[in-house]
Amino acid sequence: MVSLKRKKPAAPQPPMRRLAAPRVMTMPLTEVFEKRRTSRDFSDETVSDEDLAAVLWAADGINRKDGRRTTPSAMNWQEIDLYVVKANGVWLWDAKNSALVFVKDHDRRKDLCLWQPLVKNAPVHIVYVASNDRATNFVTEMAKNVIRYVDKPELSEKADVALERARILDVGVKVQAVYMACAALTLNCLVRMTFDPDKVSETLGLAKHQTLVCIQTIGYKPKSLLDLAL
């Protein structure tokens, strides 16, 4: 008698919301650099899908048929994830589909701030997270095997430090890309380290192999004091 094993049903996929086509940025590069700056005041106006898509594409968009990105990463690891926290919940940027993948509901923006009242209610927070399990390839694994073979602990420590620097650099280029996109789109922008890492990690539901790096807050310029995101 032949027993037929039933295939386990596939795990349900989280909801995904495709963004509108990114707004085309036409500001000359020299003017973008002239206008790039850090701002700590934001309107509570919702950032449009077109502008948000343009910012996320600048930071981590696909610009070639082979899937490579608008910003470089060490050995093309593409190990940096962008979490987008808005009034309608927590989302994860999906570069391949130019979409936001649902992570958690409810407004959790205040979990990402400490004592900055002008920042906590800004419309968009981009959280940069390094997925350390993706920070590897054939070359790095071969190097690790060589280090183990020669039994040089000091080399292993130096290699770990180099990998950590690479991940930080990969975030840094994305941060600058967002600053430049915000300048071109006349959005205010602030990168910051003022947050409780344990609280933010809990809010995002990060796993052990994920490392929180920094947060970048964006939003439109307030038209007046009455327009501040308080």
Question: How far apart (Å, rounded) are the C-alpha atoms in residues 152 and 154?
Answer: 5
163-189: per-residue pLDDT in tens?
A: 788 889 999 999 999 999 999 999 999
Residues 61 and 95 sit within 8 Å (Cβ to Cβ): yes
- pLDDT on residue 131: 92
Q: What confidence tier does 145 reach under pLDDT thresholds 50, 70, 90?
A: low
Q: Which domains does the chain have, with CATH numbers?
A: 20-132+168-227 (3.40.109.10)
> Residue 69: left (phi > 0), alpha (psi -120 to 50), or beta?
beta
43-69: per-residue pLDDT in tens?
A: 999 999 999 999 999 999 999 999 999
Q: How, if at all, do strands 210-220 and 80-86 pair? A: unpaired
In single-letter form, the type of residue at position 38 comes to T
- Give me 211's structure tokens: 């490392």
Q: Which string of DSSP letters, residue by residue, matches 132-150?
A: GGGS--HHHHHHHHHHHHH
